[in-house]
Each structure stands twice: as structure tokens, then as C-alpha cells.
Amino acid sequence: MFEDPETARVLAISPHLNDAVLSVGAGLAQAALDGAKVIVHTVFAGSAPPPYSAAAERMHAVWGLSPHEDATLRRREEDIAALDHLGVTYRHGRFLDSIYRKRPDGQWLASPVAGGAKLAVQERSSDSDGELVAEIKEDLESVIEEFGPTLIVTCAAILDHPDNQVARDAALFAAHEKNIPTRLWEDLPYAVTRPGPVELPPGFHRGPAVFSPATDGTRTRKFQAVECYSSQLGMLNGRAKNMFERLTEHARNNSPDGGYGETTWPVVRDEVNS
């Protein structure tokens, strides 16, 4: 996935805690093993004080957390353990997950839907999301200035979720200003269970998909890292979902030789609009 790993400095910009590990954990682990410096910066990792939305209370219960437990702190601890297992460094951003945010009219952005862990999240609104993208971009510029990445990798936002979309857009804009090569990862497990179209900001396009094979060792390390997110496993892998089997089968379907691996796309910028 990454060229010249011994001199590479890879900045993975993850919308949520666990997104990067689920999607490109094997590639990040391999890059670190090959000598690259790797940081995973999670955008929506800020702690939200109560009162919580009904959606947040629903998710806390699904995650097996008590009403008084700091859910984000618990999840950050899981993330630190997962990334340490991959051999990469973490950064936790200040922005709140959509289940803790409100719309401009004061109503909660997310609301529960009958059945399990389903939520309804308001579609993107250009005014509020434009401001959020700008704020995230400013934070990412500070990380870029300090770390000096040679490659940025972030989500394609295959999952139609405002957090994924604004994090991706902010990453694209920040990377473009510094002329840093950028790749988009295939959002897993959502590309398997809830695939959707990818619409990048004007002037940005995905290049041809690249399937990067993983060794048995990095695949195992990735799956073990995913298991560090214990609060999320019931939702991701419970009720006979067989997430790891489905991820393996999905990879085999994309692999030229039937082995495990991960898919990314290079970001191409229109010269006319650059």
C-alpha cells in the first residue's frame, strides 16, 4: 500500500475510534514493521458531558457501559490498546461524535430507530457542515505541520454518515494545500454490509482501486487489534454476524489470488480546479 516504507511518514485520518483499524489495520501494521512512522489521528474522539441524546444513551447501553461511565474515555483506551498492538501511534481529536452533537436548531443530530443499534442521523446541511469541515481542516493542518506526512490515508466514506464525509473532506482539503499524496480506504465492515456511492468534493476523484495483500501475520494482528475494541464487538460481531469471516470472504472476492488484503484508491485532483 505504501511506497518506500523506510522513509514514509503515514498519517491515517480516522473519523471514529476503530475505523482505521477495521479498514486498513493490516496495511498500517505492515508499514510500521517495514520502518514507516505511522500515526492514526481520530477526528471525532472528544469527550461529551451529559445530558446525552437518546441516541447516545441507546449506544452506551449497546456498548455495555453504565449511564455514568465516560464512554469516549473508555473507547479512547480501547483505541490506544489497538493501535499499540499494530505498532503505530495515536492522536485523539477534540470533535464530538454525531450522537453527541446538536443541529443549529438545538435538536439532536442523531435519533434512535426501533431495533438494535440503528440510528437516524440527519443528512448533511451545507452551512453547518461547511463550518465543521473548516474547523477539522484547521486541526489537521496543525497535525500535518508537526508530523510532516509523506502520505495521508483516510476513509472513502462509503458509509453515508456525516462524520465520515466531513472528516474525509477536511483531510482532502488539508492534504491538497500541502500537496501530500492521499489515498482513500474502503470503509469496513460497511462496504460489506451497507455499501453506497462515494461522492468526493468537486475536483477530487478516485483513481483505480489497489488491492494490497496482507501476510497471515498482519491479518492476525489486525483482527487482534479489532478485538481490543471490546465495547464495539457486540455491535460489530454479535448475533451471528461473523464479521471476521465476512471480512475475509470480502477480501478474497477482491483478491487476484484469493488471499486476504485491503483495498484503497489514490486521490486524483483535477488540474483545472487545482
Give the pLDDT of residue 77.
98
Give the pLDDT of residue 68.
79
Each domain of the chain, given as residue ranges in start order, spans: 9-269
Q: In this structure, which topology does domain 9-269 adopt according to CATH?
A: Rossmann fold (3.40.50)
Give the pLDDT of residue 111.
87
Q: What are the pLDDT digits (tens) for 173-197?
A: 999 999 999 999 999 999 998 888 8
Q: What are the pLDDT digits (tens) for 222-240?
A: 999 999 999 999 888 766 6
Is the pLDDT reported for residue 271 higher than 80? no
pTM for this one? Answer: 0.93
DSSP assignment of the chain equals --SSTTT-EEEEEESSTTHHHHHHHHHHHHHHHTT-EEEEEESS----PSS--HHHHHHHHHTT--TTS-HHHHHHHHHHHHHHHHT-EEEE--PPPGGG-B-TTSSBSEEE-SSTT-EEEPPP-HHHHHHHHHHHHHHHHHHHHHH--SEEEEE---S--HHHHHHHHHHHHHHHHTT--EEEE--TTHHHHS-----PPTTEEE---EEEE--HHHHHHHHHHHHT-HHHHHHHHTTTT-HHHHHHHHHHHH-SSS--EEEEEEEEE-TTT-
